[in-house]
Structure 1
Amino acid sequence: MPAYAVGHLHDVNVGHDIVEYLKRIDATLKPFGGRFIIHGGPVALLEGSWSGDLIVIAFPDRDSARAWYASPAYQQILPLRTGNSRGDVFLIEGVDADHKAADVLAGVAADQPLG
Structure 2
Amino acid sequence: MAAYALAHLRPSTVNDEVLDYIEAIQETMDPYGGRFLVHGAEVEVMEGNWPGTVVIIEFPDLTVIQDWYASAPYQKILPLRTANVPGDVIVVDGVGPDYHPRTTAAKLRALSDVR
TM > 0.5:
yes
Aligned identity (percent) is 42
Deviation at 1:102, TM superposition (A): 2.1
Q: 1:24: which partner in 2?
A: 24
Alignment: residue pair count:
112
Map 1:1-115 to 2 at 5 A: 1-105=1-105, 107-108=107-108, 109-110=111-112
Which consecutive unaligned segments of at least 5 residues does structure 2 have? none
Q: Quick one: distance in 2 between partners of 1:111 and 1:53? A: 39
Q: Distance in 2 between matches of 1:17 and 1:93?
A: 30
How far does residue 105 in structure 1 lie from its aligned partner after superposition?
3.3
Q: TM-score, length-normalised on structure 2?
A: 0.89
- Ranges in structure 1 where 5+ consecutive residues have no aligned partner: none
My pick for the range that moved more, 102-111 or 79-88, is 102-111
Contact 2:9/2:88 (<8 A) preserved: yes
Question: Higher helix proportion, which one?
Answer: 2
Aligned partners of 2:7 and 2:88 also within 8 Å: yes
Q: Which amino acid aligns with 1:38?
A: V
Normalised TM-score (structure 1): 0.89
* SS of corresponding position for 2:74: helix
- Per the TM alignment, residue 106 of structure 1 is displaced from its structure 2 partner at its CA by 5.1
CA contact (8 A) 2:32 2:65 kept: yes
Bigger mean CA offset, 13-22 vs 103-112: 103-112
CA RMSD of aligned residues (A): 1.6
